[in-house]
Amino acid sequence: MEELIEKATVLLEALPYIRKFYGKTVVIKYGGNAMVDDELKSAFAEDVVLLKYIGINPVVVHGGGPQIGEFLKKLNIPTRFVGGMRVTDRETMNVVEMVLVGKVNKEIVKLINSHGGSAVGLSGKDGNLIVAEKIDSRKYLSEVKAPEIIDLGFVGKVKKVNPEIVIKLLESKFIPVIAPVGIGEDYEAYNINADLVAGEVAAALKAEKLVMLTDVEGIKDRSGNLIRSISRQELSSLIEDGTVSGGMIPKVKACEIALTGGVKKAHIIDGRVKHSVLLEIFTQEGIGTEII
């Protein structure tokens, strides 16, 4: 009996958060290690389905960098990153779209649905969801202090998000799952860093939260200690002084975009921790780094 009562107590701990976030939208960037380990994948899907059933609206934006890399390797197409972005020629773009939209997106949809959810996969092309434009390589690469300045090819940035299709899905039982491929006004497909897409989608939806899963505990300071909480204003200095580098740069930028766009809070959390999404949303301490 004691044990059962203890269970009820644990469940009740979530009540204030369920009340606070009921009917609100939470954008989750899914990527990194959490996407390769089977046990973590199931735990992630359970978290997303649970959120939906208790009346919180999850929107998943996924990455797939490692999966694209593997496929390019199989095809003997060399690939590299400059300033955290994959150099994307036309041939690479075709593979990027095939892997992200055809493979990774559908796998996440299947995963969520196999845990009792109703996920619907979208790319930026569906409903003109993500209108992209070619990134200004010179400007971007010098901004992030990249070691070389080259043309990144079909790497895009978000020009506009048309969130109608996502809102329609959220109004019913569906869980939107978005692949980071944008459509240009020239009708070319653009490869966009998934973190940046998540930030822009969160801003367009005026989400309550942006939660970014990654393969580290959160943002680390110069001495390697986890930063628990940081303000939006302090973020740019972390990039400028080199504390934040590589794959963490677009994550930090995504949080800036989201918060500037009206999202209340952004979190960078450890996707290697089982049920990290629930731990972030339903506990007082949360996990990882919160950006306010």
Ligand X SMILES: Nc1ncnc2c1ncn2[C@@H]1O[C@H](COP(=O)(O)OP(=O)(O)O)[C@@H](O)[C@H]1O
Ligand Y SMILES: CC(=O)N[C@@H](CCC(=O)OP(=O)(O)O)C(=O)O
Site residues (vs ligand X, CB under 6 A): 31-32, 63, 65, 214-216, 219-220, 243-248
| Residue 216 interacts with, from ligand Y, ligand X, none (CB under 5-8 Å by kind) | ligand X
2 burial level (CB within 10 Å; 0-12, 13-18, 19+): exposed
- Considering only residues 203-262, where is the footprint of ligand Y by CB under 6 A? none
Those residues whose C-beta lies under 8 Å from the C-beta of residue 250, and which sit 6 or more positions away, are 84, 193, 195, 196
Span interacting with ligand Y, options 5-13, 19-27, 187-195, 263-271, rule CB under 6 A: 187-195
Judged by CB under 6 A, the number of residues near ligand Y is 13
Nearest to 174 by CA among 259, 284, 277, 60: 60
| Residue among 63, 124, 153, 271 that touches ligand Y (CB under 6 A) | 63
What is the chain's length?
Answer: 292
Side chain identity at 253, as an amino acid letter?
K
| Residue among 65, 121, 163, 288 that touches ligand Y (CB under 6 A) | 65
Interaction of residue 68 with ligand Y, rule CB under 6 A:
yes
| Residue among 34, 49, 96, 175 that touches ligand Y (CB under 6 A) | 96
65 is in an annotated binding site: yes
Sheet holding 229-230, edge to edge: 119-123, 175-179, 57-62, 25-30, 209-214, 265-270, 289-291, 229-230
| Residue 16 interacts with, from ligand Y, ligand X, none (CB under 5-8 Å by kind) | none
* Distance, CA of 80 to CA of 206 (rounded, Å): 34
Q: Which chain residues interact with ligand Y by CB under 6 A? A: 31, 63-65, 68, 85-86, 96, 155, 180, 191, 193-194
Binding-site sequence positions for substrate? 64-65, 86, 191
